[in-house]
Amino acid sequence: MMVQTFLVIDDDAGDRKLLRRLISQRQEPSETQEAPTGAEAMNRNLAEPDMIFLDYMLPDTSGVELITELAQRWPRAAICMMTGQGDEEIAKESIRRGAIDYLPKRNLSPAALDRVIKTGCKLARMRWQLDEKREDLSMFSEVLVHDLKAPIRSMRFLVEKLQEDIAGGAAQEINRDVELIGKSADRLHDLVNSLAGHIHYDSETDEEVVHAAVLVEEACQVLLAEIERTEARITCDADGMVRCRTPQIVQLLQNLVGNAIKYAGQSPPRINVRCREGPEGLHFEVADQGVGVPPEHRETIFLPFKRLPVSASIPGTGLGLATCRKIVDRHGGRIWCDPEVSEGTIIHFTLPHRPQSLDRAG
């Protein structure tokens, strides 16, 4: 059974002792941390609490004023405001600032405390999930624009080739162009469906077992225009099968290979995609000989809107790698930039073997 962690912020030692005793009487295992002032609570290296019991009158600040700081430090924690005397205005202001509940100390009892903990933790968890979803949705439009441009460019490139081949009467090339346009349209359709899954909190996209080489091939198909324009050479040494949401993994590889092309420097891009079975599942590497990632940026490049200093002259939103991390997280894997590489860049990611359905999107 999971241990619940509580934080009691109250300058009255007797009140802290009472809360500690009532919490210990609950059936669920728990740990209680204490702080007599707001400053001590904020400055100490405390474990993230599931719930915070916050006294309204503290020596250094008002409990209401502290709510915002506590919520920023521990966004998943439920905050319950406590006062020596009941006051409806304090309750309203506390809830407005972000507290989950309000409890006068005179009403403290095992039953009241148990109710506050159960409902408060549940509400706080739901609110945190909704905040995460809201942030996810705020990124959605940027991701949509970013990731739909590549297949659209690919289709435009293929249409131009088709027009040239029709004018030249190259029947064999015309058939090939039409087939590739159809594949690009299919990839665009799959990507739209996959991105739409970000919108719906309870939606799922189908998973399937697919060969790693097929995933790489489809990602390169989306990037045909960029590959042709830059004379990129992409080699693939991929083996292994994985259960995944195919459009999302194609999108992931599309972003990684597209980044390798974009940051190739002055020379034509030379990119190698490798995949092998590893201890964590299927292990992908996307290696290039481009400008590289400075060591101090190898962790932050996966954060939204974080771009390298060299990126100032290169178009982009700073969302590509953040999207990659989200996709890998949703598949239960991990992604990282190789810390040992001194020239170029190697991005690794793993996709664990999942015999059953993946978690719901979001």
Q: 4-108 belongs to which CATH class? A: alpha beta
Distance (Å, rounded) from C-alpha 159 to C-alpha 151?
Answer: 12
Mean pLDDT of 202-231: 85
Reported as a single tens digit per residue, the pLDDT across 135-147 is 766 666 666 666 6
Mean pLDDT of 69-93: 89
Task: Give me the percent of the chain exceeding a pLDDT of 90.
Answer: 45
Mean pLDDT of 208-218: 94
Question: CA 158 from chain center: how many Å?
Answer: 34
Q: What residues pair up with 8 in beta bridges, in sequence order?
A: 34, 53
pLDDT at 240 over 80: yes
Closest by CA position to 93, among listed 107, 79, 105, 106: 79
Reported as a single tens digit per residue, the pLDDT across 15-54 is 999 999 999 999 889 999 999 999 999 999 888 899 999 9
Label residues 182-197 b or e (16+ Cβ within 10 Å = b): ebbeebbebbeebbeb
Q: Which whole-number Å values give the CA distances from 163 to 180, 186, 230, 231, in the listed order?
A: 14, 21, 21, 21
Distance (Å, rounded) from C-alpha 80 to C-alpha 51?
Answer: 7
Per domain, the residue ranges of the chain are 4-108, 132-351
The chain-wide mean pLDDT, for the chain, equals: 84
pLDDT classification of 234: cutoffs 50, 70, 90: very high
Mean pLDDT of 249-269: 91
Higher-scoring residue by pLDDT: 348, 354: 348
CB atoms near residue 330 (< 10 Å): 18
Reported as a single tens digit per residue, the pLDDT across 280-294 is 899 999 999 998 888
pLDDT of residue 138: 65
DSSP sequence for 267-288? SPPEEEEEEEEETTEEEEEEEE
pLDDT classification of 68: cutoffs 50, 70, 90: very high
CB atoms near residue 253 (< 10 Å): 27
pLDDT classification of 359: cutoffs 50, 70, 90: very low
pLDDT at 357 over 50: no
Q: Is 4-108's fold the same as 132-351's?
A: no
Higher-scoring residue by pLDDT: 170, 119: 119
pLDDT at 349 over 90: yes
Mean pLDDT of 117-130: 88
pLDDT of residue 312: 45
Mean pLDDT of 319-329: 84
pLDDT of residue 80: 95
CB atoms near residue 88 (< 10 Å): 8
Mean pLDDT of 243-270: 91
* CATH node for 132-351: 3.30.565.10
Two tokens, residue 157 = 């490139």
Structural contact between residues 344 and 290, judged by C-beta atoms closer than 8 angstroms: yes
pLDDT classification of 175: cutoffs 50, 70, 90: confident
pLDDT of residue 202: 41
Place of tokens 């009892």: 109
